[in-house]
């Protein structure tokens, strides 16, 4: 059945009569009996629904979004900054629209958090997700089919299953909400292919409206989302600034990430979340922090844990006031803990939007918070992603960090006057404040390399710095700085020396290239050498 419908949906979409399709959708909306309030302009917010959701009043951005969503028939793509209350917008819509609302989440951790919030507000939900037993799936589908629940929560992979599509296809005039909608074009092209087929799924369902919410989306992302869903209706865009003025952006340019994070954790405010780019690094870094700061409550979080273990860690961190959570991007979207004071990116993500999403976990209560990024200069040598290269250059460069991040999202920062020498900036990042974290380990390694004139290879330099006498380190009593790092964690020394030698090799390679080009230019200008078919052949004079 599904393959048959998919085939017809493709043929149907080739029709260019968009006006006809729009009129059909409009009639479906009318027949479905959507509330009379929907379509009126301006729409008046129902304060009874707001009170039921447990908030005294709506924020200005929430009010603008809901007035637009409830006051038109178009599909809507809303971009609100992290912490602006996107969840409350579609909770309100679920209560006010009168039909079934299917909410699609990219992450199970995000779905679990939203289930808790909906049920706390007294809204019954049916959950369709991976890992369910046959009985759990049957109960959920039965509740949906009988009309006992008006909110369905699922993820892209589950939505594409034949059993789920057949059940949802029986619903009349359902609305579909995509939370963290920026992930659909960004992840669909890489490791979540099911996201690219969401448009086919919607074509099989009687979908009245599509609403999309995210905190980070530029024009390219929104266009990609519209292309994947290929909806006949127009897409109304509501965009608010992604700037979080209560977040201060700081950077630690270091030869050793482990030394840098140890220094940051010694003085930063907690609760704190540390982001890594792999499960292995999460586990290793969690163990390192526990050994370095045994009094700190430390937890690890990634998608490799089972459902119960993830929920246990989420609850533990949610109610802790001084914890450190080391996590992958699985905790980087939508998790609702308002008082996280510090985020540390042990490894930078692959794009500016991912960085803003993850750093947006902090300061959701509006209080001042700090976002740290630990970067190494050698990363520029091995980076293959253009978007990640831009993010690295943002933190290694000399321009305002906040303004550069927002410019990549298509926004212009209203800067303030700093000084005659510095010009204009945000006054809340390390560049604008002319502040730089001291890298003591890097300075000691650089001092050793300068005094020994780099006569040692990498392994010998490590042995000399930690004070180990061996055949490769003769006459140790004559070596400057011998044993200077003997009290430093060996892992930090190994990482720091490796980084210093990588930078040295890169600099030497760059200088050799420049001098080689300069020498050839001088020889050509002086008439030394002869020209052949492909250029100048420089003579080799012995």
Q: Report yes or no: 207 and 171 within 8 Å, Cβ to Cβ.
A: no
Identify whether 42 is preceded by a cis peptide bond (ω within 30 of 0).
yes
Phi, psi of 227 (to 5 degrees): -65, -40
User: What CA–CA distances, in Å, run from 232 to 23, 77, 170, 366?
Assistant: 10, 15, 21, 39
What is the C-alpha to C-alpha distance for residues 49 and 92, in angstroms, rounded to an integer? 7
Q: Report yes or no: 275 and 357 within 8 Å, Cβ to Cβ.
A: no
Instruction: Return the domain boundaries, the chain.
Output: 2-239, 247-425, 440-513
| Local mean pLDDT, 10-residue blocks, the chain (542 residues) | 42 40 42 42 84 89 92 91 88 90 91 89 93 93 93 95 94 93 90 92 92 92 93 89 92 93 95 94 95 96 88 92 93 81 95 91 93 92 87 92 91 66 73 86 88 82 85 73 87 89 72 58 58 42 32
The dotted CATH code for 247-425 is 3.40.50.300
Q: Write down the pLDDT at residue 262.
A: 95
Q: Write down the pLDDT at residue 526.
A: 64
What is the C-alpha to C-alpha distance for residues 137 and 163, in angstroms, rounded to an integer? 10
User: Among candidates 367, 368, 428, 433, which has minimal Cα distance to 402?
Assistant: 428
Beta carbons within 8 Å of 439's beta carbon, 6+ residues apart: 252, 253, 254, 255, 259, 260
Q: Write down the pLDDT at residue 490.
A: 86
What is the C-alpha to C-alpha distance for residues 386 and 466, in angstroms, rounded to an integer? 38
- The DSSP letter of residue 123 is -
- Crossing angle of helices 279-292 and 257-267, rounded to 10°: 50
Q: Write down the pLDDT at residue 519.
A: 62
DSSP-derived 3-state class of residue 103: strand
What is the C-alpha to C-alpha distance for residues 220 and 211, in angstroms, rounded to an integer? 18
What is the C-alpha to C-alpha distance for residues 127 and 141, in angstroms, rounded to an integer? 9
What is the C-alpha to C-alpha distance for residues 388 and 445, in angstroms, rounded to an integer? 28
User: Among candidates 204, 176, 163, which has minimal Cα distance to 105?
Assistant: 176
Q: Write down the pLDDT at residue 468.
A: 85
C-alpha angle with apex 341: 55 to 354, nearest 5 degrees? 85
List residues bridging with 298 in a β-sheet: 324
The answer to whether domain 2-239 and domain 247-425 are alike in fold is yes
Q: Write down the pLDDT at residue 414.
A: 73
Q: Report yes or no: 129 and 158 within 8 Å, Cβ to Cβ.
A: yes
User: Among candidates 255, 525, 527, which has minimal Cα distance to 376?
Assistant: 255
Between strands 247-253 and 174-179, the pairing is unpaired
Q: Write down the pLDDT at residue 334.
A: 63
Q: Write down the pLDDT at residue 514.
A: 55
Q: Write down the pLDDT at residue 423.
A: 56
Q: Write down the pLDDT at residue 484.
A: 87
What is the C-alpha to C-alpha distance for residues 523 and 479, in angstroms, rounded to an integer? 42
The CATH architecture of the domain made up of 2-239 is: 3-Layer(aba) Sandwich (3.40)
Q: Write down the pLDDT at residue 517.
A: 61
What is the C-alpha to C-alpha distance for residues 368 and 246, in angstroms, rounded to an integer? 5
């Amino acid at each position: 059945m599904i393959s048959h419908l998919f085939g017809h949906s493709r043929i149907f979409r080739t029709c260019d009569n968009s006006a006809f399709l729009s009129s059909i959708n409009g009639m479906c909306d009318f027949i479905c009996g959507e509330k009379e309030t929907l379509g009126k302009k301006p729409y008046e917010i129902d304060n009874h629904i707001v009170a039921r959701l447990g908030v005294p009043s709506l924020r200005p951005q929430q009010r603008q979004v809901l007035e637009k969503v409830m006051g038109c028939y178009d599909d809507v793509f809303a971009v609100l900054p992290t912490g602006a209350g996107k969840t409350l917008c579609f909770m309100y819509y679920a209560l006010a629209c009168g039909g079934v609302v299917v909410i699609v989440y990219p992450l199970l951790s995000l779905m679990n958090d939203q289930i808790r919030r909906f049920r706390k507000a007294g809204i019954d939900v049916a959950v369709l997700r991976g890992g369910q037993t046959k009985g759990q799936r049957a109960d959920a589908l039965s509740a949906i089919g009988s009309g006992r629940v008006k909110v369905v929560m699922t993820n892209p992979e589950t939505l594409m299953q034949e059993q789920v599509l057949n059940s949802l296809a029986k619903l009349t005039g359902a609305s579909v909400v995509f939370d963290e909608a920026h992930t659909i074009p960004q992840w669909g092209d890489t490791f979540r292919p099911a996201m690219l087929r969401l448009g086919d799924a919607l074509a099989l369902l009687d979908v009245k409206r599509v609403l999309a919410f995210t905190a980070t989306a530029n024009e390219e992302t929104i266009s990609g989302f519209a292309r994947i869903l290929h909806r006949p209706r127009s897409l109304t865009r509501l965009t608010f600034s992604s700037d979080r003025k209560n977040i201060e952006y700081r950077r630690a340019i270091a030869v050793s990430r482990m030394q840098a994070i140890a220094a940051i954790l010694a003085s930063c405010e907690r609760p704190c979340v540390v982001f890594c780019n792999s499960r292995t690094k999460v586990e290793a870094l969690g163990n390192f922090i526990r050994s370095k700061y045994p009094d700190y409550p430390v937890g690890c979080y990634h998608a490799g844990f089972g459902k119960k273990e993830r929920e246990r860690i989420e609850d533990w961190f949610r109610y802790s006031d001084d914890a450190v959570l080391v996590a992958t991007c699985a905790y980087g979207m939508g998790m609702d803990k308002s008082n996280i004071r510090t985020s540390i990116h042990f490894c930078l993500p692959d794009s500016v939007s991912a960085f803003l999403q993850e750093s947006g976990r902090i300061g959701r209560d509006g209080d001042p918070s700090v976002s740290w990024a630990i970067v190494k200069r050698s990363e520029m040598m091995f980076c293959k992603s253009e978007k990640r290269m831009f993010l690295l250059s943002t933190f290694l460069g000399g321009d305002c960090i906040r303004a550069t991040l927002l410019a990549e999202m298509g926004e212009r920062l209203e800067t303030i006057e700093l000084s005659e020498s510095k010009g204009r900036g945000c006054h809340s990042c390390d560049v604008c404040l002319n502040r730089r974290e001291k890298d003591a380990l890097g300075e000691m390694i650089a001092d050793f390399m300068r005094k020994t004139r780099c006569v040692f290879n990498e392994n010998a330099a490590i042995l000399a710095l930690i004070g180990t006498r061996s055949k490769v380190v003769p006459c140790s009593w004559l070596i400057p700085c011998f044993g200077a790092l003997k009290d430093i964690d060996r892992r930090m020394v190994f990482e720091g020396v490796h980084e210093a030698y990588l930078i040295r090799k890169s600099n030497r390679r760059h200088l050799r290239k420049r001098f080689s080009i300069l020498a050839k230019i001088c020889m050509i200008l002086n008439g030394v050498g002869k020209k052949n078919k492909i250029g100048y052949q420089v003579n080799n004079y012995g």
